């Protein structure tokens, strides 16, 4: 079997003081004494203070339960990090990889000095166990399908094969080999996802049902360890001195504070109690101005998420009207996305397609290569509300109805009670009532469980939806509208031509052909008005000026601190 050697990309950062903290691996690194001396002399200590609005309760990497934390405290074969030049995949747990000429066999050579936070080596057996656990039918992990193209994986998951038949195997302690059924150009993009991270068999099997539920049972092989959790208050990470690249990890501690209100978080940021802040609305505008004046740093970037509204494609909705294309288009085209974004959020980018600009294909943004498919048709109607009312009325006629628009009621289902969520609902209600002359009923529930109950009961015409991609390829977006896969996004949409195009991508490695198929698929979605795209998500961070070398990620940890350091705070 002929092999080609992939270049090895290491993770590099600025040289800075590193330290040792008890409870997260041991070392005789003398730099710990230097840090202690620096703290006593009034120079910078390497502590970062962050705000979050929720703590997760799932610590099982195979379950992708708490991705933003898991990807920062754990290490997979690859790591996804971003800076002002864009997103980058770098080798992390793997030192190098060989790929067979036919693209079906990947041989990963692991970092020989990688260790877990308890000092045990990270071996190929940990990867083999993690991958086979992912497709173990006992656990029914949501992301098992990520590796169904691995020989034997889908069969094991479906009960027609065995774990021994899954060709994700430890050749030796530091060689992990994966054999695919057919070459898959999206395979490597999935390797940054936490379900494909290693798991310690001895700990997981001993923990049994408590694995992933009790954080004190966890060990870590990434830059940080979770070392403290005060429910509804604070979570602490400390540096993992056993991480293979610990010399480049400069922060000693990351403190996560649970702060629900933007106003409270803003006050803490203004007082220097928070070093990094994500916010929106008026607070976002305030800090944008401060960033322009050089008082804080600001980072903005595309993020692979698209927020949209889903129709009831199965039953036509509570009103019975959602099965008509013209009515769906009238509802979509009557929304002024730029106005909505400015009025409600103060950030984000208007969406006239489904696939986010953050998704790249063949090294460039997909959106830079494919025009947004809804834009041309939308522009024919934009702001012409008489034409949109006529379009809606034509749809009623096609359904055999002569109802006056003022007598039509559509129901919008959503949940949440934040100021933004309430403003968004009210904006949609006013938009449709004013621009189309219809009545809009808001079916607003308190939490996601109630939302799914109402959705399953059919008490809606449209509901809030969206997609945040798990890997960097347009296919991850397009799969959501494949018949029966993601009803929570598609609303039950089904199109046999669309499904056939998606099926034709299997084994197709010609990028020009793939791009053509992706383009056709997205066009079908908008010819059918399968969804109402509203905006593309973006990342927006505000940082104190003493925060250096901050990184983020679209497909791993949302905030990557593996080379971040503090300089200029003075304590």
Q: Domain of 443: which CATH number?
A: 3.10.105.10
pLDDT at 460 over 90: yes
Q: Between residues 291 and 83, which one has the greater pLDDT?
A: 291
Is there a single domain that holds both residue 501 and residue 552? no
Residue 491 lies in a domain: yes
pLDDT at 12 over 90: no
Is there a single domain that holds both residue 34 and residue 159? yes
Q: State the burial class of residue 519 (Cβ atoms within 10 Å of its Cβ: 0-12, 13-18, 19+).
A: middle
Please report, rounded to a whole number, the percentage of residues in the chain having pLDDT higher than 70. 92
Residue 293 lies in a domain: no
Q: Taking the CB of residue 484, how many other CB atoms lie within 10 A of it?
A: 10
Is there a single domain that holds both residue 391 and residue 418? yes
Phi, psi of 412 (to 5 degrees): -105, 125
Determine the pLDDT at residue 29.
Answer: 39
Residue 285 lies in a domain: no
Q: Taking the CB of residue 136, how many other CB atoms lie within 10 A of it?
A: 17
Among the listed ranges 62-66, 393-397, 501-505, which one has the minimum average pLDDT value?
A: 62-66
Is there a single domain that holds both residue 559 and residue 498? no
Average pLDDT over residues 492-507: 95
Is there a single domain that holds both residue 464 and residue 562? no
Q: State the burial class of residue 510 (Cβ atoms within 10 Å of its Cβ: 0-12, 13-18, 19+).
A: exposed
The domain that contains 140 carries what CATH number? 3.90.76.10
Determine the pLDDT at residue 15.
Answer: 29
Q: Which residue has the tokens 């769906």?
A: 328
Is there a single domain that holds both residue 355 and residue 209? no
How far apart (Å, rounded) are the C-alpha atoms in residues 336 and 386? 15
Give the Å distances, CA to CA, from 329 to 462, 481, 533.
13, 18, 11
pLDDT at 200 over 50: yes
Residue 23 confidence class, pLDDT cut points 50, 70, 90: very low
Is there a single domain that holds both residue 200 and residue 310? no
Phi, psi of 186 (to 5 degrees): -95, -5
Among the listed ranges 39-43, 67-71, 114-118, 379-383, which one has the minimum average pLDDT value?
A: 39-43
Residue 359 lies in a domain: yes
CB 461 within 8 A of CB 309: no
Q: How many separate domains does the chain show?
A: 2
Residue 244 lies in a domain: no
Residue 179 confidence class, pLDDT cut points 50, 70, 90: very high
Determine the pLDDT at residue 284.
Answer: 87
Mean residue pLDDT of the chain comes to 89
Give the Å distances, CA to CA, from 52 to 46, 128, 211, 398.
20, 33, 24, 49
Range of the domain at 495: 303-538
How far apart (Å, rounded) are the C-alpha atoms in residues 550 and 543? 9
Alpha-carbon 9 to chain mean position: 23
CB 274 within 8 A of CB 264: no
How far apart (Å, rounded) are the C-alpha atoms in residues 265 and 271? 10
pLDDT at 37 over 70: no
pTM above 0.85, yes or no: no
Residue 288 lies in a domain: no
pLDDT at 262 over 50: yes
Q: What is the DSSP string of 420-454?
A: HHHHHHHHHHHHHHHHH--EEEEEEESSHHHHHHH
Among the listed ranges 51-60, 65-74, 89-98, which one has the minimum average pLDDT value?
A: 65-74
Stated as kind and residue range, the H or E segment containing 258 is: strand 253-258
Strands (E) across 64-104 are located at: 78-83, 86-91, 94-100
Instruction: Read off the pLDDT of residues 420-430 as tens digits, 9 standing for 90 and up.
Output: 889 999 999 99
Is there a single domain that holds both residue 157 and residue 35? yes
Instruction: Read off the pLDDT of residues 59-78 as tens digits, 9 standing for 90 and up.
Output: 899 998 777 777 889 999 99
Strands (E) across 259-402 are located at: 276-277, 297-311, 349-350, 360-361, 364-365
How far apart (Å, rounded) are the C-alpha atoms in residues 451 and 465? 11
Instruction: Read off the pLDDT of residues 104-140 as tens digits, 9 standing for 90 and up.
Output: 999 999 999 999 999 999 999 999 999 999 999 999 9
Residue 57 confidence class, pLDDT cut points 50, 70, 90: confident
Instruction: Read off the pLDDT of residues 465-494 as tens digits, 9 standing for 90 and up.
Output: 999 998 899 999 999 999 998 898 999 999
pLDDT at 356 over 90: yes
* Strand 559-560 versus strand 364-365 pairing type: unpaired
Average pLDDT over residues 24-35: 39
Residue 269 lies in a domain: no
Determine the pLDDT at residue 70.
Answer: 78
Determine the pLDDT at residue 402.
Answer: 85
Residue 529: closest CA among 339, 270, 252, 308: 308
Is there a single domain that holds both residue 505 and residue 410? yes
pLDDT at 269 over 80: yes
pLDDT at 36 over 70: no
pLDDT at 211 over 60: yes
Residue 112 lies in a domain: yes
Determine the pLDDT at residue 4.
Answer: 35
Phi, psi of 258 (to 5 degrees): -85, 110
Q: Which two tokens stand for residue 272?
A: 């220097």
CB 511 within 8 A of CB 362: yes
SS (HEC) of 523-552: HHHHHCCCEEEEEEEEEEEEECCCEECCEE
Phi, psi of 421 (to 5 degrees): -65, -40
Helices 385-398 and 325-333, packing angle to 10 deg: 160
Is there a single domain that holds both residue 493 and residue 558? no
Q: Which DSSP state fits 90?
A: E
Determine the pLDDT at residue 144.
Answer: 94
Is there a single domain that holds both residue 216 and residue 363? no
pLDDT at 158 over 50: yes
What is residue 260's three-state secondary structure? Answer: coil
Residue 152: closest CA among 142, 143, 162: 162
pLDDT at 54 over 90: no
Determine the pLDDT at residue 24.
Answer: 58
Task: Check the CA dihedral 481-486-492-497 and report its sign.
Answer: positive
Is there a single domain that holds both residue 208 and residue 337? no
């Amino acid at each position: 079997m002929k092999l080609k050697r992939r270049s090895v990309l290491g993770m590099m950062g600025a040289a800075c003081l590193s330290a040792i903290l008890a409870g997260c691996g041991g070392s005789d690194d003398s730099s710990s004494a230097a840090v202690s001396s620096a703290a006593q002399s009034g120079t910078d200590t390497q502590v970062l203070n962050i705000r979050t609005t929720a703590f997760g309760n799932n610590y099982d990497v195979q379950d992708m339960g708490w991705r933003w934390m898991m990807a920062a405290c754990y290490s997979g074969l690859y790591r996804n990090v971003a800076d002002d030049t864009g997103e980058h995949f770098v080798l992390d747990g793997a030192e190098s990889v060989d790929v067979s000429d036919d693209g079906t066999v990947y041989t990963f050579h692991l970092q020989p000095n990688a260790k877990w936070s308890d000092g045990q080596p990270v071996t190929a057996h940990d990867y083999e166990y993690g991958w086979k656990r992912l497709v173990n039918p006992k656990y029914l992990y949501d992301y098992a399908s990520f590796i169904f193209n691995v020989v034997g994986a889908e069969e094991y998951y479906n009960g027609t094969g065995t774990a021994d038949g899954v060709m994700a195997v430890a050749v030796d302690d530091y060689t992990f080999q994966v054999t695919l059924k057919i070459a898959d150009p999206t395979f490597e993009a999935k390797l940054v996802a936490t379900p494909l991270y290693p798991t310690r068999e001895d700990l997981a099997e001993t923990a049994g049902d408590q694995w992933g539920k009790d954080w004190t049972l966890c060990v870590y092989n990434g830059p940080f360890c979770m070392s403290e959790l005060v429910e509804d208050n604070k979570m602490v990470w400390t540096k993992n001195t056993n991480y293979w690249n610990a010399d480049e990890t400069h922060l000693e501690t990351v403190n996560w504070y649970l702060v629900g209100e933007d106003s409270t978080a803003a006050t803490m940021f203004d007082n220097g109690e928070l070093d990094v802040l994500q916010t929106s609305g008026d607070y976002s505008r305030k800090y944008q101005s401060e960033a322009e004046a050089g008082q804080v740093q600001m980072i903005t970037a595309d993020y692979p998420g698209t927020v949209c509204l889903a129709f009831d494609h199965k039953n036509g909705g509570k009103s019975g009207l959602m099965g008509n294309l013209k009515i769906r288009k009238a509802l979509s085209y009557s929304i002024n996305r730029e106005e909505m974004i400015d009025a409600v959020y103060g950030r984000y980018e208007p969406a006239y397609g489904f696939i986010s600009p953050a998704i790249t294909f063949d090294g460039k943004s997909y959106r830079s290569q494919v025009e947004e498919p809804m834009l041309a048709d939308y522009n024919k109607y934009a702001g012409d509300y008489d034409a949109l009312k006529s379009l809606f009325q034509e749809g009623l006629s096609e359904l055999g109805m002569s109802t006056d628009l003022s007598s039509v009621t559509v129901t919008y289902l959503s949940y949440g009670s934040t100021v933004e969520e309430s403003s968004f609902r009210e904006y949609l209600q006013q938009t449709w009532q004013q621009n189309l002359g219809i009545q809009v009923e808001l079916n607003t529930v308190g939490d996601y469980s109630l939302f799914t109950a109402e959705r399953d009961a059919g008490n809606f015409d449209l509901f809030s939806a969206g997609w945040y991609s798990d890997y960097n390829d347009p296919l991850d977006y397009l799969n959501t509208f494949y018949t029966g896969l993601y009803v929570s996004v598609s609303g039950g949409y089904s199109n046999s031509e669309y499904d056939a195009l998606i099926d034709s991508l299997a084994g197709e490695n010609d990028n020009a052909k793939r791009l053509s198929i992706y383009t056709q698929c997205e066009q079908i979605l908008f010819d059918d008005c399968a969804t109402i795209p509203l905006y593309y998500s973006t990342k927006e961070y505000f940082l104190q000026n003493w925060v250096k070398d901050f990184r983020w990620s679209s497909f791993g940890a949302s905030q990557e601190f593996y080379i971040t350091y503090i300089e200029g705070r003075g304590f």
